[in-house]
A and B are shown apart, each in its own frame.
Chain A
C-alpha cells in the first residue's frame, strides 16, 4: 500500500466527523488495516509517511469498532474465522497473545506513536554516541598491537566526532574491523538496523523475554486454514478490532451457555 495514501490529519478528520468525511482513501486505508492478521501484516501498512500504528491505535476505538463491524458485513468469511476462534480455539489464541499482548490494551504499549518514537530515538542516539566515544578512547590504546599482529595496513583513525558515528569514514572503518573479535560497536550497528530496517513487530518480539513456541503459532493458523479455508498470520494478535470482536463472541457464547446449557443438561 502507498505510504502516502492518507495523512494522519485525514484519518483524524474521518474519525471526528463520525465517518462523514467522504474520503474514499481513508476507507481504503481502514479496510487494509482491518485485514491485519489475514492478508496483511502490520508492516505491510505501517509506518505511513507521517504516522505509525501507535497513532492509529489511540484514535476513537468505539467509532472504529463500528466501522470494523461494517467491514465484517462485507467480509463475512473473516467474521466466521473470528467466531471460530472464539468458540473453538480461544484458549490457544490467548496463549499466543500472552508473551507480549495478553490484553488488548497492551498493544498500545508496544506500538508507539510517532512522537514517542522520536523521543526514544533522540535518547538512543545520545546513548549511542556516548558509548561510541567511550569505545574509541579504549581501543586507541590497542591499535598498534592489532595492526602488528594481523599485518593489516594501519588504518587512519582520524574519527571526527562532529560528523556523528555513521559517517562514511566510520562505516568503512567498521567494515575493515569486522573480523576482529573485540569490535563491540557491531552491536550498535545491529540495533540501528533492527530499528530502521527490520519489521517493527520483529523488533518488538526481539525485546520480549518470553519466547513464543513456533509450533503453537503454526498449529492455530494451520487449523484455521484447514477448517475455515482462510489464511491467517501471527499479526492477528495485533489487530485490536479483530480481538475486540473475538472477545465479544466469547462473551456471547458464554452468556448463551449460562442461560441455556442447564435447560438441556440438568
Chain B
C-alpha cells in the first residue's frame, strides 16, 4: 500500500462514512459511495508529491460530486489488495445500527443529516461552518435545529426495539 493511506483513511473513517451516508441516494448505495470516495482519494493521492493534508470537506466534496454528478458505473477496483481490505473496513457492516441511523434521520435533509452526524462524531462547528460557507453562529444554529428535529426519536424506546 502506498505510504500514509492507511493512517489517513483510519483517521477519517467516521468522516467518510458521514459523507457517504448523507449523500447516498436512490442511484448510489452507501457502501458503493464509500468505495467511490476511496477510489477517488487513492487516485488523487497517487498524483501528489510530498506530504499531504486532507480536511473533512475534501471527503464531503468527493461524496457529493460522486452522488450527483456521475451516475454511471464506476470501476472501483483499486490496484492493491490492501487498499481493498481498507475500503472493506470502512464499509457499513452492521445493518441493524445502519437502519437505526436511517430511521433517526428519516425525514432530514442532507444538511440536517450532516449536522447530526457531525455532532455525533464530535466534529467542531468550525468545520461544519466551513463546509457550508456559513458563520460559526449559523452553524451552531443549524446543529441545534437538527438535533431538535430528531430529539423525540432519540428518546423513543420503540425505535430501538423495532429496528435494532
Contact = CB atoms under 8 A, between A and B. Distances in A.
Interface in A210-265: 227-229, 249, 252-253, 255-257, 259-265
Interface stretch (A76-84, A108-116, A173-181, A196-204): A76-84
Interface string B14-45: 10011001000000000000000000000000
B101 A263 contact: yes
A38 B112 CA distance: 28
Given A87-B119, A256-B116, A257-B122, A264 B21 contact: yes
Contacts of A265: 13-14, 121
- Interface magnitude class on chain B: 20 to 34
15 contacts: A87-B119, A227-B140, A229-B137, A252-B147, A256-B119, A259-B101, A259-B104, A260-B117, A261-B14, A261-B121, A262-B97, A263-B17, A263-B100, A264-B21, A265-B121
Q: Main SS of the interface on chain A?
A: helix
B154 A256 contact: yes
Contacts of A256: 116, 119-120, 147, 150, 154
A133 B63 CA distance: 83
A88 interface: yes
A80 B18 CA distance: 24
A189 to B, nearest CB: 48
Nearest to B101: A263
A73 to B, nearest CB: 11
Contacts of B121: 261, 264-265
Chain A to chain B: the 5 pairs with minimum beta-carbon distance, closest first? A260-B120, A83-B144, A264-B14, A263-B97, A264-B17
Interface of A: 76-77, 79-80, 83-84, 87-88, 227-229, 249, 252-253, 255-257, 259-266
Nearest to A262: B97
A116 B115 CA distance: 48
A259 B122 contact: no
Contacts of A227: 136-137, 140
B60 interface: no
A259 B117 CA distance: 11
A33 to B, nearest CB: 23
B120 A261 contact: yes
Interface in B74-115: 92, 94, 97-98, 100-101, 104
Interface centre among A84, A249, A256, A263 (most CB of B within 10 A): A263
B18 A264 contact: yes
B143 A87 contact: yes
Nearest to A88: B125
A252 B151 contact: yes
Contacts of B21: 264
Given A83-B140, A87-B143, A256-B154, A263 B98 contact: yes
A249 B21 CA distance: 24
B65 interface: no
B154 A259 contact: yes
